[in-house]
Amino acid sequence: MELLYWRDMKQSGLLFGSVLLLLFSLTQFSVVSVVAYLALAALSATISFRIYKSVLQAVQKTDEGHPFKAYLDMEISLSQDQMQRYAENVQHYLNSMLKELRRLFLVQDLVDSLKFAVLMWLLTYVGALFNGLTLLIMVVVSMFSMPVVYDKYQAQIDQYLGLIRTQVNSVVGKIQEKIPGAKRKAE
């Protein structure tokens, strides 16, 4: 969250720029090519640094050892507890998503299923206008800009969101009154 609020400008800028560069690269090249180019760039940098340090040690006649020794000695494996926690989280999200989709597709609540149908219908138009990567780029830009904008203009945004929420609730209430079998939830 600190990165999204730009508390540390260098880290936020680095992450934002890297993610955008990766996404823009994916719009021009295949995933395999992007991964291969990134791996080649990283490998070129590490090999060059290793050779530079070796030449420097030979010229200065020092014996500092391998420049990446600290990283080679670091333990990078995940423990079984961590893996189990991650698997349980994924299982929880999948189960809740499947329950919600079952509820929507089997029309447990008519109003919620109609809302879902309208959302899917709107997404067909969004899908016709944008591809997935363009939407992902828009999401990343929004993730890095919206928290800062909201933090700065919170009072005005909350006021307008309250007005919108009131209007939407009014329209939904009128629609629920006209649909037979649609029960109104207790507020």
What is the rounded CA–CA span in Å between residue 122 and residue 124? 5
Q: What are 168's two structure tokens?
A: 């939407």
Q: What are 87's two structure tokens?
A: 């698997």
Q: What pLDDT score was predicted for residue 187?
A: 44
| DSSP structure class, residue 107 | T
Check: pTM over 0.85? Answer yes or no: no
Residues whose CB falls within 8 Å of the CB of residue 177, separated by 6 or more in sequence, listed in order? 184
Q: What pLDDT score was predicted for residue 119?
A: 93
Return per-residue pLDDT of the chain as tens, 187 residues.
788 888 888 988 899 999 999 898 888 888 898 889 989 999 999 999 999 998 988 888 888 888 888 888 888 888 899 999 999 999 999 999 999 999 999 999 888 898 899 999 998 988 888 888 888 999 999 999 999 899 899 999 999 999 999 999 998 888 878 877 665 554 4
In 3-state terms, the chain is what percent helix, strand and coil (to 5)?
Answer: 80, 0, 20
Q: What pLDDT score was predicted for residue 157?
A: 93
Q: What pLDDT score was predicted for residue 186?
A: 47
What is the rounded CA–CA span in Å between residue 113 and residue 110? 5
Q: What are 164's two structure tokens?
A: 């919108």
Q: Are 142 and 20 in contact (CB under 8 A)?
A: no
The identity of residue 131, as a single letter, is N
Q: Are 55 and 47 in contact (CB under 8 A)?
A: no
Q: What are 152's two structure tokens?
A: 């700065």
